[in-house]
């Protein structure tokens, strides 16, 4: 009996009563197999769609469930993943990957005839799952109050999810079989991979049964395979990863031959919803390959990272699916306990262009969707810029017809743009469409190849890699094209520009400047003399190393990608030469393609823009010292901070960054010397309206009237109290320190001698009169006998004269 069976009745009740239910059940509980089949067989729902985060798991679950029904996939149990569509009118339980559900929702927001959505292994939090769930929640709220949603995982962040979705949680306690834990501390963290073969051999010697070994990627799998060439003859060594063909994957999952043990080297593709018979040992490297998005370069790179504790629990669960098992964890228990509880959601660590485009098609902005984690404004800005380059959004951010086509194409939106446009251009550029198919196959197969894409494609024509051939077959079939023996690679720059317009680059010093403004490293082996590169693949340190590119000239792409080019006039002041530079330029994003002296006369607004650029560079240090303006700036910053409801946000950095407040006042300035002498008091004051200016003078006055009748200037500072420097005789009769900004800003009184030398600093005048004044009085009577030094200054008459003239 599976653990999930004990919770079945409670789960059914919850699903009937609530729109959303969370199910937390450990690995091996039966939530991915027994439960959906039971829900279908019992007829609680007419049609169920279950989402699996991985194609391998989706395929195997569908085949397993179909076998339980003595059917083939496509009858009551359906399967829809990329490249496979096995559903029929008989289908009542459909296993899909998340991108498929998003397409179903976009084409039919009401999800006709579907009354239960199951999100399996929801803890993985792929961006596709987050997108599909956000749309499903809106569909549920707007169209289908009878649609039920079930979120399942062994390691849900239950409290947070329960609060966000306002729904019940059902827990299925207990694991099918117990799992022992063995920790293997590391002497040198940098050499962790070298320890894996030793741990595998140790586990095989100490335990019975087959072993599942979790490694980050294919390169690590290959290294460990080479190191395990001396395994006992009864051990069968196989690998399992997402890019394998189906036959090899099925061979890896199949039970070991009679009398043999199996050692399966795998990536996290086997972490969830997958049972490999005979496995009772897990060796966990504690590493995974995960997306790491660089906002500056716009590159999502796969990096090796430590997994979270929840992922480690998932991996260990593979050992206890069919009998008691054991997990060997690389690293100490203390290291394990210091890991994050859950992995960073993909939506916060990757390019969100696809999500943004899906939201536009759905008719919403990202901020309006019910997302557990909302992308940052920087992510949204970066994605918007890219989508405009790909012609998916217009300059107003509205979805275009081409944007809709990109989504329906069912591939990465960059590659979709390239393929759609290549088909349209084939009449003008014969052979560009077939070339695009070969290029997509090369990029998606991820085979190691020359950095120059010309060489890379020609080498695949001569001696194709198996993975390249697999991808090429897929794309030729899908695009209804035939294999060729020759390619016109002269179109490569245009194709790469269609897919990666933000990665068009121009040589700059020892590297390249990308159209998106980022920098890229110059390879020492390629293109030393090429001014321009169209980059298809980059990554490495800070996402800035070029892995695949082709040389081009702007003329190669200008006509077909005219929207990427802009004409503008640049005006700036050259401080070294002491003159204006006034140029007409053609820009490709951040790249200057051409620049020549402007044919237009230099007008006031252009000159003002040049001065503003100089101001942005030097800030307020650009101007000569001017105490009144500097004090106004400080007072405005203080008022903004202390009274945010009354004054707009003012900081020095913000005034420099958003400097249009200054523009109008600089139009008539013609020389740098004039600019330095410019008094910016009036311009700065204009940032406050008349009422705010009046309030500023009341709350933070420029001068303070003291009992002698004098108006003494106050000196303000950004951090710390304001300061009033005044001769002591002038504040006789003042019983307390004056208040500034309704008491929110302290005033430091610097009491001076008749010769204006400092005598005392105090923020509590009353206390000073009662205490330290006596000592000051004794000393000052002897030094300044002509001046008034009363015994009770708090009640005495203030004066700015000597005694004889009082």
CB atoms within 10 A of CB 170: 20
pLDDT at position 509 over 60: yes
Separation of alpha carbons 176 and 26, rounded Å: 8
pLDDT at position 571 over 60: yes
680 versus 82: the higher-pLDDT residue is: 680
Averaged over 567-593, what is the pLDDT? 87
State the CATH class of domain 353-496: mainly alpha
Domain pair 3-171 / 179-344, same fold = yes
What is residue 527's predicted lDDT score, i.e. its pLDDT? Answer: 55
CA dihedral 697, 702, 703, 704 (to 10 degrees): 50
What is residue 800's predicted lDDT score, i.e. its pLDDT? Answer: 85
Ramachandran region, residue 436 (left: φ > 0; alpha: ψ -120 to 50; beta: rest): alpha
The band of 769, judged by pLDDT with boundaries at 50, 70 and 90, is: very high
Could you tell me which residues are beta bridge partners of residue 545? 521, 539
CATH classification for the domain delimited by 3-171, as one of 3.40.50.620, 3.40.50.300, 3.40.710.10, 3.40.50.720: 3.40.50.300
Flag the least confident range among 256-260, 531-535, 777-781: 256-260
Q: What angle do CA 542, 544, 547 make, to 5 degrees?
A: 125
283 versus 289: the higher-pLDDT residue is: 283
What is residue 37's predicted lDDT score, i.e. its pLDDT? Answer: 94
What is the total residue count of the chain? 806
Separation of alpha carbons 95 and 97, rounded Å: 7
Collect all residues with Cβ–Cβ distance below 8 Å to 158 and sequence separation of at least 6: 22, 24, 169
- For 436, the token pair is 């695009």
123 versus 648: the higher-pLDDT residue is: 648
Separation of alpha carbons 445 and 470, rounded Å: 8
% of the chain exceeding 70 in pLDDT: 98
The band of 245, judged by pLDDT with boundaries at 50, 70 and 90, is: confident
Query: Taking a C-beta distance cutoff of 8 angstroms, is the pair 118, 152 a contact?
Result: yes
522 versus 56: the higher-pLDDT residue is: 56
pLDDT digits (tens, 9 = 90+) for 404-443: 999 989 889 999 999 999 999 999 999 999 999 999 999 9
Averaged over 23-28, what is the pLDDT? 80
The band of 804, judged by pLDDT with boundaries at 50, 70 and 90, is: low
Could you tell me which residues are beta bridge partners of residue 156? none
Separation of alpha carbons 214 and 288, rounded Å: 8
Separation of alpha carbons 713 and 349, rounded Å: 53
Separation of alpha carbons 535 and 591, rounded Å: 14
pLDDT at position 534 over 90: yes
Ramachandran region, residue 540 (left: φ > 0; alpha: ψ -120 to 50; beta: rest): left
- For 112, the token pair is 């006709």
Q: Tell me the chain's radius of gyration from C-alpha atoms.
A: 36
Separation of alpha carbons 723 and 746, rounded Å: 9
CB atoms within 10 A of CB 228: 18
pLDDT at position 765 over 70: yes
- Residue 512 — φ and ψ, nearest 5°? -135, 145
What is residue 582's predicted lDDT score, i.e. its pLDDT? Answer: 86
716 versus 344: the higher-pLDDT residue is: 716
- Residue 214 — φ and ψ, nearest 5°? -90, 120
Ordered by start, the domain boundaries in the chain are: 3-171, 179-344, 353-496, 618-698, 701-805
Of the CA atoms within 13 Å of residue 465, those in its CB half-sphere come to: 17
Of all helices (H) and strands (E), which one includes residue 791? Answer: none
Of all helices (H) and strands (E), which one includes residue 654? Answer: helix 652-657
Averaged over 605-630, what is the pLDDT? 91
Separation of alpha carbons 454 and 442, rounded Å: 11
Q: Which of 513, 536, 537 is nearest to 590 (CA)?
A: 513
pLDDT at position 473 over 90: yes
Separation of alpha carbons 671 and 677, rounded Å: 10
Q: Name the average pLDDT for the chain.
A: 90
The band of 806, judged by pLDDT with boundaries at 50, 70 and 90, is: low
The band of 258, judged by pLDDT with boundaries at 50, 70 and 90, is: confident
The band of 176, judged by pLDDT with boundaries at 50, 70 and 90, is: low
pLDDT at position 283 over 70: yes
pLDDT digits (tens, 9 = 90+) for 104-159: 999 999 998 899 999 998 888 889 999 999 999 999 999 998 999 999 987 767 77
pLDDT at position 212 over 70: yes
Of all helices (H) and strands (E), which one includes residue 149? Answer: strand 148-153
Of all helices (H) and strands (E), which one includes residue 637? Answer: helix 627-642
Cα 687 to its chain centre, rounded Å, is 34
CB atoms within 10 A of CB 8: 18
pLDDT at position 174 over 60: no
What is residue 552's predicted lDDT score, i.e. its pLDDT? Answer: 94
Q: Which of 509, 489, 505 is nearest to 537 (CA)?
A: 505
Q: Which of 721, 701, 720, 719 is nearest to 711 (CA)?
A: 701
- For 219, the token pair is 């390169």
Task: Say which CATH architecture domain 179-344 belongs to.
Answer: 3-Layer(aba) Sandwich (3.40)
């Amino acid at each position: 009996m599976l653990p999930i069976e004990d919770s079945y009745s409670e789960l059914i009740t919850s699903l009937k009563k609530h729109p959303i239910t969370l199910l937390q059940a450990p690995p091996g509980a039966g939530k991915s197999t027994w439960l959906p089949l039971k829900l279908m067989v019992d007829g609680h729902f007419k049609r169920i769609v279950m989402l699996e985060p991985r194609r391998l798991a989706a395929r195997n679950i569908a085949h397993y469930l179909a076998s339980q029904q003595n059917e083939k996939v496509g009858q009551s149990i359906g399967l829809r993943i990329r490249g496979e569509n096995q559903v029929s009118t008989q289908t009542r339980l459909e296993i899909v990957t998340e991108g498929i559900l998003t397409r179903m929702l976009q084409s039919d927001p009401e999800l006709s005839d579907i009354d239960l959505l199951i999100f399996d292994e929801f803890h993985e939090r792929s961006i596709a799952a987050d997108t599909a769930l956000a749309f499903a929640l809106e569909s549920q709220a707007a169209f289908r109050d009878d649609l039920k949603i079930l979120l399942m995982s062994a390691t849900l962040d239950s409290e947070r999810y329960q609060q966000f979705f306002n729904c019940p949680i059902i827990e299925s306690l207990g694991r099918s079989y117990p799992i022992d834990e063995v920790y293997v501390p590391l002497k040198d963290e940098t050499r962790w991979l070298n320890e894996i073969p030793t741990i595998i051999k140790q586990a095989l010697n100490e335990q019975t049964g087959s072993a599942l070994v979790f490694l980050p990627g294919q390169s690590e799998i290959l290294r460990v395979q080479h190191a395990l060439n001396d395994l006992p003859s009864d051990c069968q060594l196989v690998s399992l990863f997402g890019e394998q063909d189906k036959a090899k994957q099925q061979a890896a999952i199949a039970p070991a031959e009679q009398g043999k043990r199996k050692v399966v080297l795998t990536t996290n593709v086997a972490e969830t919803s997958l049972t490999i018979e005979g496995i009772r040992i897990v060796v966990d490297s504690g590493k995974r390959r995960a997306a790491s998005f660089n906002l500056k370069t716009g590159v999502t790179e796969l990096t090796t990272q430590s997994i979270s504790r929840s992922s480690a629990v998932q991996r260990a669960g593979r050992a206890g699916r069919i009998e008691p098992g054991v997990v060997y964890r690389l690293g100490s228990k203390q290291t394990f306990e210091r890991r994050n509880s859950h992995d960073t959601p993909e939506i916060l660590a990757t390019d969100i262009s696809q999500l943004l485009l899906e939201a536009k098609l759905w008719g919403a902005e990202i901020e309006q969707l019910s997302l557990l984690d909302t992308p940052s404004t920087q992510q949204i800005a970066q994605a918007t810029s890219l989508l405009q380059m790909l012609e998916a959004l217009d300059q107003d951010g509205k979805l275009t017809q081409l944007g809709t086509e990109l989504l329906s194409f069912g591939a990465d939106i960059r590659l979709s743009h390239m393929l759609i446009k290549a088909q349209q251009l084939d009449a003008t550029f014969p052979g560009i469409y077939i070339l695009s198919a070969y290029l997509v196959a090369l990029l998606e197969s991820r085979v190691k190849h020359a950095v120059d894409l010309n060489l890379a494609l020609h080498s695949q024509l001569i001696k194709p890699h198996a993975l390249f051939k697999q991808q090429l077959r897929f794309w030729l079939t899908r695009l209804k094209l035939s294999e060729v023996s020759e390619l016109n690679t002269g179109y490569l720059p245009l194709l790469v520009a269609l897919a990666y317009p933000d990665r068009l680059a121009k040589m700059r010093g020892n590297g390249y400047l990308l159209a998106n403004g980022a920098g890229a490293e110059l390879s020492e082996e390629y293109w030393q003399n090429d001014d321009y590169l169209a980059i298809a693949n980059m990554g490495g340190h800070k996402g800035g190393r070029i892995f695949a590119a082709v040389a081009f000239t702007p003329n190669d792409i200008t006509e077909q990608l005219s929207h990427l080019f802009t004409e503008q006039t640049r005006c700036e002041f050259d401080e070294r030469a002491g003159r204006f530079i006034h140029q007409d330029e053609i820009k490709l994003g951040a790249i200057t393609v051409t620049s020549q002296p402007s044919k237009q006369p230099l007008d006031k607004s252009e000159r003002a823009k040049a001065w503003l650029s100089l101001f942005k560079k030097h800030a307020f240090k650009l101007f000569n010292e001017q105490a009144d303006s500097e004090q106004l700036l400080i007072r405005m910053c203080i008022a903004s901070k202390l009274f945010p409801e009354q004054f707009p946000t003012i900081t020095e950095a913000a005034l420099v960054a958003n400097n249009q407040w200054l523009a109008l006042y600089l139009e008539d300035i013609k020389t740098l010397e004039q600019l330095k002498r410019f008094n910016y008091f009036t311009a700065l004051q204009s940032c406050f309206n008349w009422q705010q200016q009046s309030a500023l003078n009341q709350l933070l006055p420029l001068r303070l009237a003291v009992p002698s009748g004098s108006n003494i200037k106050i000196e303000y500072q950004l951090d710390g109290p304001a300061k009033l420097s005044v001769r002591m005789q002038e504040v006789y009769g003042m019983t307390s320190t004056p208040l500034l900004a309704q008491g929110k800003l302290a005033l430091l009184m610097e009491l001076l001698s008749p010769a204006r030398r400092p005598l005392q600093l105090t923020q509590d005048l009353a206390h000073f009169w009662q205490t330290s004044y006596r000592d000051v009085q004794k000393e000052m009577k002897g030094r300044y006998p002509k001046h008034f030094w009363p015994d009770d200054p708090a009640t005495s008459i203030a004066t700015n004269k000597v005694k004889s003239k009082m």
